[in-house]
Chains A and B, each alone.
Chain A
Amino acid sequence: MTIFRTAPSARSGLSRRTLLTLLGAAPATAALSAALPGGFRARAADAQLNIYSWPDYFSADNLAAYAKKTGVTPNISTYDSNETLFAKLNSPAGAGFDLIIPSSSWIQQFAAKGLLQELDHSRLNLASFDQDLLNRDYDPGNKYSIPKDWGVLGVVYDPEAVGGEIKTWEDFFKAFEKPEVSGKIRLSDSGWETIGPQLWIEGKDWNTATSDEIRAAGEKVKALAKHVKSFSGLDPNAVANGSIVLAQTNQGTGRAIIGLNPKLKWVVPGPFSELWVDNYAIPKNAPNLDQAYDFLAYQLQPDVQLAETQYIGFPAALAGLEEKLPKDTKNADLIFGGKDLDFSKLTSFVVNPDTIGTYLQVQTEIQAAAG
C-alpha cells in the first residue's frame, strides 16, 4: 500500500483500496465486521456468507440492501495482496470462506493448487457480461472465475513536457531522456508492468517469454532507471502539479489526475497493454455454497453493478454500464479505459512459477538502479 503498498497483481496507482490499505483501514474493516452483533447475523437461522476480499471493495449501500433483503449480513475479511490471499487459502486458516476476489494474474496458481471449485454456469447469467471480459487466457471458459471489475495499464503525461503525443511504449521509453521529463517519471513497482512494455516492443509475449528474454528486456529498462523519480503508488496531486510529468498507472488514477488537471493526457499505448481483472471465485470447500451463488446473483444485477462501479471507481463487468452512468459524470469514458479501448490489444499477465522470480528480481534491481 499500497499509498503505497501496491504489490498486488496489477494495481499501479493510488486506488481507493490501496490508499485504505496503506492507511491501515484493512484491519479496521475486519474488526468492524467482526464486531457486528451476533444476534443480527443469526436472524436467518444458519444462513451465513463469508467473503474474503480487498478492503472496501463492495459498496456499503449494496451490502446493507442485500442484508435487508435476505437477512444475511456478509462477513467480510480483507487482505491486501493476492500473495496474502494465496498464503491464507493454502493454509488451514483459509477454510470457511465462501467467496474470494483473486486477480487475473493469480487464478491459474489458485486453480493449480486445487484451491478453487469449478463454477456452475447454470446458476450465473454469463450472457449479461461484457463479452470482452469473458473467456480470456487467464481462465479459459471462465471455469473458476467470473469478472468483478477491471482495469488497464496506461500512461498519463504532460504533452508539453513530452513534446508530442505518446502512442506506443516505444514513444513512452524514448521520452525518458528528454530534459523536461528526466527525473519526473513514475514507473510501476510491479516487474511485469515495467518489463512487459519492453517485451511487447520486441514482439514478445510476457506470458511465454523465457527468463533470459525477461532479463534482457529488463536490462534495457534498468539502463533508463536513472531517469525515474518514483516506483511508489501514484499520488494524483504529484502529476497534477508537475512533480511528475510521465507516469504508468491505471485508468482510475488516470481519471483522478485528469480531473485535477485537464491539460494532461491519458493513453493506453500499443502494440499491447495490460488488462487486469479482479474476479469472483469460490474456494474448494466453501461451506455456504448456495449463499455464495445467491450473493453473486444479487451482485450481477445491473443497478447493483452500476452502484459498485461508482463506489470503487473501476468498472464492474456487466455490459452496457457506460450508458447507464449519470449524464453529468465527468470523464466517464476514462472509467472504462478511454474512448475506443481495443480489448484485442490487451493481455492479462499470468503468474508462472518458472519466470515470476526473474520478473521480481529484475524489478528489484531496476528500483535499486534508480536510487
Chain B
Amino acid sequence: MTTPSRSSLSARSADHVVAAIPAAWLAVFFLAPLGFTVVFSFARSVFGGVELAFTFENYRTALTGFNGATFLRTIIFAVSASALCLAAAYPVAYFLARHTGRRRAIAVVLILVPYFSSFLIRIMALHMLMSRGGFAETVLNALYLHGGPLDVLDTQTAVFIGMVYAYLPIAIVPLFVVLDRIPKPLLEASRDLGASPLKTFVFVTLPLSRPGVATAVLLTVVPMLGEMVIPRLLGGSKGVLMGQAISSQFLQSQNYALGAAMAVLVLLAVGVMVVLLARLTKGFAEIGQ
C-alpha cells in the first residue's frame, strides 16, 4: 500500500486547473448569455431594448395564434426531416459497417469530406443543381423520370431534400459506429438458431443500434429546429419556421423579450427530445467491450 505522492497530488490539482479553464469559458460565454435570454424572456420589450419585469406575456404571445402555430409547425418539420434523414442514413451506415471491409476508412472519409466544406457553399451548389435547366433536370429527363422543366426549387420538397442532404453525414457516423460494434457472434448465434436475415435484423441488430439511432436523431433534430439557411435558399422563405421567426424578432422587430421567450421554448423542446431519446437507450450497457 502506498500513499499518494506529492507529485501525483500536484498533478491532480493541475488537472483541476486544466478543467477549470473550459468550465470558466462555458460559464462566461454559454451560461451567462443563456441567463440573459431567460431573464429577457420574462421582461417587457421596448424598441431596441428591454425593461426588466416578471411577466408571462411573452410566453403567451409565443404560444398562441400565429406564433404558436409556427412553433408547432417547426417541431413537426424538424422531427419529420430528422426521421427522413435517419431513414436515408441507416442503410448507408449498415452497408459501411458490414460490407466495406478494409476500404471502410476510405468510405467514411468520402462521406465526411463534403461535410467539411462550407455549409452555404453546399446549399448553394444544391440550389444550382435543382434550378431550371440544372443538372437534376437534365438527368431526370434523360432517364424519362420527368418531362420538361424541373420546378422543384422554392418548394417544401426542396427544403426536405436540402435538410436530408445537409445533415446526412452526421446521422451516418453515429449509426455506423454502433452497427460496427455489434459483435458478430450475436448475429451468427441468431442465424444458428434459425432466424431469417430479416428476423435477425429486427430482433438483434435494430434493438442493439438504439443508441446510434438516438444520437443520430439528436444530432440532426437540434440544428433542424433552428435551421434558417435552407428554407431561405431552397424554399423561397415560405412557411416560416422558428429560426427565422426568432431572428426577425431580435433583429427586425427589435423585440428582444418575445424573441428570447421563443428561443427558450425551442430550448425546452430540445430538452424534451433529449429526455425522450435518453429513455430510448435506457438500460443500455455499453456493448462490444
Binding site for B on A (CB under 8 A): 3-5, 7, 22-24, 81, 83-84, 86-87, 90, 109, 113, 186, 189, 228-232, 235, 237-238, 241-243, 353, 356-357, 360-361, 364-365, 367-368, 370-371
Q: Which residues of B contact A3 (CB under 8 A)?
A: 124, 127, 233
Find out whether the CB atom of B237 lies under 8 angstroms from the CB atom of A4: yes
Q: How far is the CA of A368 from the CA of B73 in the complex (A)?
A: 10
A22-B238 contact, Cβ under 8 Å, with A86-B48, A364-B248: no
CB-based contact A232/B232 at 8 Å: yes
Given contacts A5-B232, A241-B132, 12 further A-B contacts (CB under 8 A): A7-B248, A81-B251, A86-B254, A109-B48, A232-B232, A238-B132, A243-B132, A243-B151, A360-B252, A360-B253, A368-B238, A370-B236
Residues of A within 8 A of B244 (CB): 364
Q: Residue B236 contacts which of A7, A84, A87, A229 (CB distance < 8 angstroms)? A: A229
Which among B121, B124, B131, B251 has the greatest number of chain A C-beta atoms within 10 A?
Answer: B251
Q: Can you list 5 A-B pairs, Cβ within 8 angstroms, ordered by A?
A: A4-B237, A81-B251, A189-B237, A241-B133, A353-B254
Choose one: A81, A243, A353, A364; the contact of B245 (CB below 8 Å): A364
Q: Is the CB of B70 within 8 A of A83?
A: no
Smallest Cβ distance from A85 to chain B, in angstroms?
11
Complex CA gap A23/B233 in Å reads 12
Chain A min CB distance to B43 (Å): 16
**What CA separation (Å) do A230 and B153 show in the bound complex?**
9
Chain A contacts for B127, CB-based, 8 A: 3, 235
Q: Are B132 and A24 in contact (CB under 8 A)?
A: no
A-B contact count (CB 8 A): 99
Give how many B residues have a beta carbon under 8 Å from the other chain's beta carbons.
34
Q: What's the minimum C-beta distance from B150 to chain A, rounded to whole angstroms? A: 9
Q: How far is the CB of B262 from chain A (nearest CB, A)?
A: 12
Question: Which 5 A-B pairs rank lowest in CB-CB distance, beginning with the nearest?
Answer: A371-B239, A230-B236, A371-B238, A353-B47, A231-B237
Interface of B is mostly: loop
Partner of A364, one of B48, B124, B240: B240
**A87-B48, A242-B132 are known contacts. Are A231 and B236 too (CB-CB below 8 A)?**
yes
Which residues of the other chain, A, contact B251 by a CB distance below 8 angstroms? 7, 81, 83-84, 87
Q: Which residues of B contact A23 (CB under 8 A)?
A: 120-121, 124
Shortest beta-carbon distance, B184 to chain A, in Å?
A: 46
Q: Point out the residues of chain B lying under 8 angstroms from A238, CB to CB.
A: 131-132, 153
- Cβ of A81: which chain B residues have Cβ within 8 Å of it? 251
CA of A242 to CA of B70, assembled, Å? 32
**B66 CB-CB contact with A under 8 Å:** yes
Minimum C-beta distance from A79 to chain B (A): 11
Contacts A24-B120, A83-B251, A243-B153; A230 near B132 (Cβ below 8 A): no
Instruction: Verify B131–A243 contact, CB threshold 8 A.
Output: yes
- In the complex where A5-B232, A353-B47 touch, is A83 in contact with B131 (Cβ < 8 A)? no
* Shortest beta-carbon distance from A326 to chain B in Å: 32
B180 interfacial by beta-carbon distance below 8 Å? no
List of B residues within 8 angstroms of A360 by Cβ: 248, 252-253
User: Are A242's CB and B233's CB within 8 A?
Assistant: no
CB distance from B126 to the nearest CB of A (A): 13
- CB-CB under 8 A from B232, the residues of chain A are 4-5, 232
Residue B156 at the A interface, CB < 8 A?
yes
Report the Cα distance A87→B255, complex, angstroms.
Answer: 12
**Known pairs A87-B48, A241-B132; A365 contacts B66 (CB<8 A):** yes
B58-115 residues at the A interface, CB under 8 angstroms: 66, 69-70
Q: In whole angstroms, what is the CA distance A364 to B121 when docked?
A: 27
Q: Are B120 and A357 in contact (CB under 8 A)?
A: no
Q: Indicate whether A83 sits within 8 Å of B252 (C-beta atoms), given known contacts A232-B237, A367-B240.
A: yes
Once the chains are docked, how many angstroms separate the CA of A238 from the CA of B153? 10
Task: Report whether A229 and B154 are in contact in the complex, using a CB–CB cutoff of 8 Å.
Answer: yes
Instruction: State whether the Cβ of B118 lies closer than 8 Å to any Cβ in chain A.
Output: yes
| CB <8 Å contact, A228 and B253 | no
Residues of B within 8 A of A4 (CB): 232-233, 237
Question: Which residue of chain B lies nearest to A370 when distances are taken between CB atoms in the complex?
Answer: B238
Q: Which residues of A contact B66 (CB under 8 A)?
A: 361, 364-365, 368
Q: A243-B131, A364-B66 are in contact. Are A22 and B240 (CB under 8 A)?
A: no
Q: 1/0 per position for B248-260, CB-CB distance to A under 8 A?
A: 1001111100000
A249 to B40, CA, bound (A): 36
With most chain A CB atoms within 10 A of its CB, the pick from B118, B131, B252 is: B252
Q: Is the CB of A242 within 8 A of B149?
A: yes
